[in-house]
Amino acid sequence: MKKIKVLPKNIYIDVDGVILTRGVAPAQHLDKFLGYILKNYSVFWLTSKCNGDSKALIKYLSQFLLPTTVALLEKIKPTTFRLDKTEAIDFNRRFFLLDDELFASEVNTLKKHDNYDSWIEVNLMKNPDQLLHLINHKLCIN
């Protein structure tokens, strides 16, 4: 059977509520999750803690996370935006946006581009295993 070539997708990820829970604790299954998305997607930061340069963010995160996790996070590409995260999204490529919360203006922009369903609302308080669930289902490329 001929294999269908699928264009790579972008993933944009937030820090609080996605990488960290309660501001300080690493999300469950974080290393497995990061390893999977870095292997199968182009991964970008999309957080107010990163503005064009991820060095300060990596340093910030390294106080909460193991060096092996930090080494994975260093592979995530930085983005720049001023007011809304959606400014940094490349709407010409398929993408997922992992965030616990968006501003109404960001939701409107996603809807305007017909990309509202690209937002994966992460809620680790409600579902601590959500990152594992995502790589087994919604983000699974097979």
Q: List contacts with Mg ion (CB under 5 A).
A: 14, 16-17, 100
Token pair recorded at residue 27: 């999300």
What's the distance, CA 18 to chain centroid? 7
Shortest Cβ contact with Mg ion: which residue? 14
User: Tokens 């308080």 sit at which residue?
Assistant: 125
∠ at Cα 139 (83, 7), nearest 5°? Answer: 85
87 membership: H or E segment, kind and range: none
Kindly tell me which of 31 and 100 has the beta carbon lying closer to Mg ion.
100
| Residue among 58 and 97 whose Cβ is closer to Mg ion | 97
Angle at 88 between CA 71 and CA 134, to 5 degrees: 55
Is 26:63 a contact under the CB 8 Å cutoff?
no
* Residue closer to Mg ion, measured from CB, 34 or 122: 122
Shortest distance in whole angstroms from residue 99 CB to Mg ion: 5
- In the complex with Mg ion, the residue whose CB is nearer, 17 or 58, is 17
Least distance to Mg ion from the beta carbon of 100, Å? 4
Least distance from Mg ion to the Cβ atom of residue 57, Å: 13
Q: How far is the CB of 4 from Mg ion (least distance, A)?
A: 34
50 CA to centre of own chain: 13
